[in-house]
Amino acid sequence: MAAKLIGTSWKMNKTLPEALDYCAALAQGAPLPHQLQPFVIPPFTLVREVTQAFKKAGINCLTGVQNMHFADQGAFTGEISPLMVKDTGATLVEIGHSERREFFGETDETVQLKAAAALRHGLTPLICIGDSLREKQWGVSEETVVRQMKAALAGLAPESVARVIIAYEPIWAIGEHGVPATNDEARTMHQRLYLALEESYGGKIAHRVPLLYGGSVNHDNALALLSLPHVDGLFIGRAAWDGASYLQLLKTIATRC
């Protein structure tokens, strides 16, 4: 894994003019640092326009969608299929975010089905896993996130697993009032996830699966988090929702990578 993955999901934010302003701000720094692989995951309504704006400006920034159904087509009102995702030009599919699990009934089973469907269509699943505050207090965080990861990858061939991105996002660290994981907490969890991949698929495959950290990442802690073993990138929230702020983060990180 040569390039560090540094990206953000806008969640349910931004209109088209705001999105294009963001793209324009990012274009001010083009070409972006070659040692990083930036990515942006807009709302569905903006994916095509953002993807085209990056391409037109010569910005090396991947785009993705925030959810996807596992069926190619059908009577699933309000859903987006893998074929529709590909039609937008996006290449990433965010799957299993804790908000999808909490508010919209996402389960380990549907995460697995969606991951398999994404891979089947040449898309890259970005699978989110995370522990709740109560699970942390109970001391079962490691078991929780390893189970979520193993369930998401169940039934996949090793070469398919190597095409997946895993994002560890502790639920207690997400959001406006989230508390970032300490370096020790992030180090411990990423080491455990890597070992679980190694045990299941061998070191060669485990080394090819990027493990991202997400949860209250900001300008103050980004470099320290990236310096930890098996932290292969960052999934950033609010600190990257402004184009100029995201660009500055990329430049700062690039000086140390």
Tens-binned pLDDT, residue by residue, of the chain (257 aa): 469 999 999 999 999 999 999 999 999 998 999 899 999 999 999 999 999 999 999 999 999 999 999 999 999 999 999 999 999 999 999 999 999 999 999 999 999 999 999 999 999 999 999 999 999 999 999 999 999 999 999 999 999 999 999 999 999 998 877 888 999 999 999 999 999 999 999 999 999 999 999 999 999 999 999 999 999 999 999 999 999 999 999 999 998 87
pLDDT in the model for residue 179 = 84
Tell me, yes or no, if 169 is annotated catalytic.
yes
Residue 220 contacts by C-beta under 8 Å, 6 or more apart in sequence? none
Q: Is 248 exposed, middle or buried (0-12, 13-18, 19+ CB in 10 A)?
A: middle
Q: Give CA separation, 217 vs 126, 195, 239, in Å.
A: 17, 24, 7
Predicted TM-score (pTM) of the model is: 0.97
What is the DSSP code (8-state) at residue 44? G
Residue of 69, 97, 190, 230 with catalytic role: 97
Residue of 94, 106, 135, 169 with catalytic role: 169
Tell me, yes or no, if 109 is annotated catalytic.
no
> Are the C-beta atoms of 4 and 226 separated by less than 8 Å?
yes
pLDDT in the model for residue 178 = 82
